[in-house]
Amino acid sequence: MDNTITLSFVDKKNILSPGELEDRCRQAAPVLARAVAGDPRYQDFTGWRTVDESASPERVAFLQEQAARVRAGADVFVTIGIGGSNQSSRAAIKALRPKDGPVMLWAGNTISAREMADTLETLDGYRSVYIDCIAKNFETLEPGIAFRVLRQYLEKRYGETEAAKRIFATGTPGSTLHQLCKDHSYTFLTFPERVGGRFSVISDVGLFPMAVAGIDIGEITAGMRQMRDRLFAEGAEENIALRYAVLRKLLLEKGYALEMLSFFEPRLDFFAKWWVQTFAESEGKEDTALYPIVSSNSEDLHAVGQYVQQGRPVIIETFLTVRERDASVRIPPEPKKDYFDYLTGKDFWDINEAARKGTFAAHSQRGIPCLEFSIPAIDARTLGQLYYYFIFSCYLSCELLGVNPFDQPGVEAYKHQMFQLLGKY
Ligand code: PA5
C-alpha cells in the first residue's frame, strides 16, 4: 500500500494569485530551516522534534513491557488527564478501536460530578481496575482531584499495597507527582521536561495508554519518524507542512476566520478534537489565527452544512480523505416498497465516497477554499505520520503568525476567577 499523505488545494474563486503560494513558501524557507535544525529560542519546548529523544525505540520497548503487565491484569484502565495530556492517546484509541484488552475510560478531563459518579459506578462493574494519572507539573485541578478520588477508590477496594501496583502516574521528574509515586510505590512514567502537553503524543504521555489499549506503538512511532524524515528533507516550495502553514496564513490575511476539518469517518472524531486543541491552544493569541472547527460527516452536513454552503463566507475547509476501503456493507434487495431501490447492491463505502465527493464539489463550487489531505488508511502508521505532521506544521504556522507556539497564557484567566471562587487565594 502506498502510505504517502498528500495535500492538494482547490481555489475556484482564485483567491490566491498564480504563484502566490510558492512565492510565500520560498520567503518562509528560513522558518522551515530553523524548525528543522532546532531553534535555540525554543530549545526548552522541542524535545519531540527528533522523535528519538522522547520516544526512542528503547523507550517504546519499555512502555510495551509495562503495558503488557497492565493488559495481563486489567479489565479496565482509566487515563486521568486533561487537554494535551489526554487528547492524543484518546484520539488513537477511539480511531483504532482495539477489540481485545481492557476497557478504556477517561477521567480528569471534566469536573462534572455526574461524570465522576458514573465513572466510579462503572468501575464497580469490573473486577480489575488500573489507572494512569498524566499531569506535567501536577498543578492542574481536574486531574489532581480525579486522581485523589480514584486512588482512594483503588485503596479501598484492593488495599494500599495491591492498589499501588495498579497505579501509574506520568509526570515531570522532580515534580510533586513524582514524589507521590516515590512515597507510595506507584509506577512513575516520564512526561519529558522539554515537551509540552499538546506536543506530548511523542512520549510516554501519548504512547503508554495507546499501548495498554493494544495499539502498536512501534508502528505509531515509525509513522512519526517517516513524517519527520520527509519534512526534514523536502524543500520549502514542496514541503507539505510549510505549504499547509503558508496556505492557512495567506487565507487568514485574505479575511478567512475559521478552518473546518471535515471527514467522513466518525472514528476520527477524537483525532479532530486533538487537532482543534493543537491549533487553538498554540495559535489563538495576540488577537490572531484561524479558529479551528470540525465537521464529522455525513452527520454534520445535516447541521452546519447549511451554514457552510450559504452562511458568511469566512470558512476554509480542510478535508481528511481516507483511501483504504476498510469495510463493506451492501444494501440488500427489498421487496417492500421503500423507494431506495436505486441503491440496491451498492456498498456503504461507495455511498459514503459519493457523499464526500459531492460535498467537496458543492463547497468548492461555492468558492470555499478547499484543502484536502489524502491519507492511506486509518491505521497506526498513518496516525503516527499525522501526529508528527500536524504538530510540526502547527509550529511553523505559529512562527508565520508571530506567536509563541508553546505557551498558553490565556487559559489562566478563567482559572484565576475559579480559584478565587474556590478560596485558593
Ligand atoms: O497543551 C497543554 O500544555 C495543555 O493543554 C496541558 O496539557 C493541560 O493544560 C494539562 O496540563 P497538565 O499536564 O500540566 O495537567
Q: Which of 48, 110, 140 to mutate to test the pocket of ligand 1 (most atoms within 8 A of CB)?
A: 140
Cβ–ligand 1 distance for 281 under 6 Å, the answer yes
Q: Which of 90, 109, 133, 136 to mutate to test the pocket of ligand 1 (most atoms within 8 A of CB)?
A: 136
Distance from Cα 85 to the centre of ligand 1, integer Å: 6
Residues 6+ apart with CB under 8 A from 324: 1, 376, 377, 378, 379
Rg (CA), the chain: 23
**Nearest atom in ligand 1 to 85's CA:** 7
Is 36 exposed, middle or buried (CB count within 10 Å of its CB: 0-12, 13-18, 19+)? middle
Q: Which three cell numbers stand for residue 304?
A: 452546519
Distance from Cα 156 to the centre of ligand 1, integer Å: 29
* Contact between residue 196 and residue 48 where contact means Cβ atoms under 8 Å apart: no
pLDDT single digits (tens) 45-79 = 999 999 999 999 999 999 999 999 999 999 999 99
Number of neighbours of residue 117 by Cβ within 10 angstroms: 11
Q: E strand or H helix at 5, and its extent?
A: none
Distance from Cα 250 to the centre of ligand 1, integer Å: 30
Cβ–ligand 1 distance for 85 under 6 Å, the answer yes
Distance from Cα 274 to the centre of ligand 1, integer Å: 12
pLDDT of residue 307: 98
pLDDT of residue 239: 98
Residues 6+ apart with CB under 8 A from 113: none
Cβ–ligand 1 distance for 225 under 6 Å, the answer no
pLDDT of residue 339: 97
Nearest CA residue ID for atom 8, ligand 1? 83
**Nearest atom in ligand 1 to 142's CA:** 15
Alpha helices by DSSP H, 138-268: 141-158, 160-166, 176-184, 204-213, 217-233, 240-253
Residue 163, classed as helix, strand or coil, is: helix
Q: Which three cell numbers stand for residue 178?
A: 513524582
CA separation for the pair 133, 148 (Å, rounded): 10
**Residue of 58, 121, 253, 302 marked active site:** 302
Is 302 part of the annotated catalytic residue set?
Answer: yes
Nearest CA residue ID for atom 2, ligand 1? 197
Cβ–ligand 1 distance for 206 under 6 Å, the answer no
**Nearest atom in ligand 1 to 83's CA:** 5
Q: Which residues of the chain have pLDDT under 50?
A: none
pTM over 0.95: yes
Distance from Cα 139 to the centre of ligand 1, integer Å: 10
pLDDT of residue 49: 98
CA separation for the pair 89, 200 (Å, rounded): 10
pLDDT single digits (tens) 327-369 = 999 999 999 999 999 999 999 999 999 999 999 999 999 999 9
Q: Which three cell numbers stand for residue 356?
A: 464526500
Distance from Cα 134 to the centre of ligand 1, integer Å: 9
* Contact between residue 37 and residue 89 where contact means Cβ atoms under 8 Å apart: no
Considering only the C-alpha atoms of the chain, give the largest distance between any 2 of them, rounded to a whole number of Å: 71
Closest CA to 54 of 63, 41, 67, 42: 63
**Nearest atom in ligand 1 to 140's CA:** 15
Is 251 exposed, middle or buried (CB count within 10 Å of its CB: 0-12, 13-18, 19+)? buried
Angle between helices 380-401 and 269-283 (to 10 degrees): 20
Cβ–ligand 1 distance for 192 under 6 Å, the answer no
Closest CA to 402 of 270, 268, 260, 245: 245
What secondary structure does DSSP assign to 363-376, as a single string? HHHHT--EEEEEES
Cβ–ligand 1 distance for 84 under 6 Å, the answer yes
Burial 266-300 (b: 16+ CB within 10 A, else e): eebebbbbbbbbbbbbbbbbeeebbebbbbbbbeb
CA separation for the pair 359, 355 (Å, rounded): 6
Cβ–ligand 1 distance for 197 under 6 Å, the answer yes
Cβ–ligand 1 distance for 177 under 6 Å, the answer no
φ, ψ dihedrals at 268, nearest 5°: -95, 5
Cβ–ligand 1 distance for 83 under 6 Å, the answer yes
Distance from Cα 267 to the centre of ligand 1, integer Å: 24
Amino acid identity, position 344: T
What secondary structure does DSSP assign to 224-237, as a single string? HHHHHHHHHHS-TT
